[in-house]
Amino acid sequence: MKDIKKVFVSVGQGSQYRGMGYELYKHNNIFKSSIEESETIIQKHLKRSLIEELYAANDTKFDDLLITHPAIVAVEIAMYEVLKSLGILPDYILGNSLGEFAAGVVAEIWNAKSAIEASIIQAKCIEKSGIIGKGGMIAVIDQEQLLDKNSFLAYNLYLASNNFDGHYTISGLNDDLENFQNFLKKQNISFIRLPVKVPFHSPLIDKSLLDFKKYLSVFGSIKQQPNQKFISGLKCTEVVVISDDYFAQVVSKHINFSKSVDYIQGKGDFLYIDIGPSGTGSTFVNYNLKNTHNYSKTFSIMSPFKKENEKLIELQEILKANNSYVY
């Protein structure tokens, strides 16, 4: 496949873990410098160390929204900076949920500092509302589609996202989630409770985001027209104008990842490069590409297996072989 076009994919809450990007932080000066810039911003606003939280903390749990929110954005921005330094630039950008913050940096909707600060303010607004710890999210894995797709409604839950056939995310309050999980166990349906203590992508956080919307309305750092082809995970299409409350909607409204991939695939074959920390984006894309006639591929760099430097070399070799290295 010659001259393959590239899509950068960034994802949000649930993809985080301590140590994400550690090999790059140790061995790649571009990545380290970007993380250090984010560290300065986070120290200013939270009086906490991003670097210590990522690479020195002993606690394996990593679900404190005040630090995980900006941490995910910071790591994805740093990964983008590394790729840019290698001359690897996207033809399209696809952000998913909080991943749209980093995608916005790639598309030059705002700069890295603005994206990090906005993620912190959003987390603070959500914390102030008191919703943290009262709800969460679960990923349901029902590839044989044995379950009624609307069964969660009986448990006062919400469909947060459609990821791929037989895989979707449910959001809601803790007691309701527990009851639904017990139901899933009885039905022998697999599920994963995500490391998220907020019912994102549901009406339950609408009030939590009112102050954040006010912040965005006077923010003044959002460029309403992206400089690059920006595929909105929220709208499932290319967006050329960004509304003032867009970055509130991306974490509160239902998202359909499958529909976004379908939209991109309608434009041809692509190499989807996951700039997220865990490979979630490439996994979701890969499942959406199954059983379709295409030559698209996926590639992830960061993962808990800490093979980032090897993966970067592999990616460069793939792009050179396809005459698609530097744009």
If you ran DSSP here, which 8-state letter would residue 201 be given? S
Do the Cβ atoms of 123 and 164 come closer than 8 Å?
no
> Could you tell me if 121 and 70 are in contact, meaning their C-beta atoms sit under 8 angstroms apart?
no
CB atoms within 10 A of CB 2: 7
d(CA 266, CA 258): 12
DSSP class per residue in 4-45: -EEEEEE--TTS--TTTTHHHHHH-HHHHHHHHHHHHHHHHH
Q: Report the alpha-carbon distance of residue 279 to residue 304 in Å, rounded.
A: 9
Q: In this structure, are residues 294 and 307 in contact, taking their beta carbons and an 8 Å threshold?
A: no
> Does the annotation count 97 as an active-site position?
yes
Return the DSSP state at 18: T
CA separation for the pair 168, 214 (Å, rounded)? 31
Helix (H, G, I), strand (E, B) or coil at 129: helix
CA distance 118 to 75: 15
Question: Which DSSP symbol is given to 163?
Answer: E
| Other Cβ atoms within 10 Å of 89 Cβ, number | 15
Q: Compute the residue count for the chain.
A: 327
- What percent helix, strand, coil does the chain show, rounded to 5? 45, 15, 40
Which of the residues 15, 97, 232, 303 is marked catalytic? 97
Which amino acids are annotated catalytic? 97
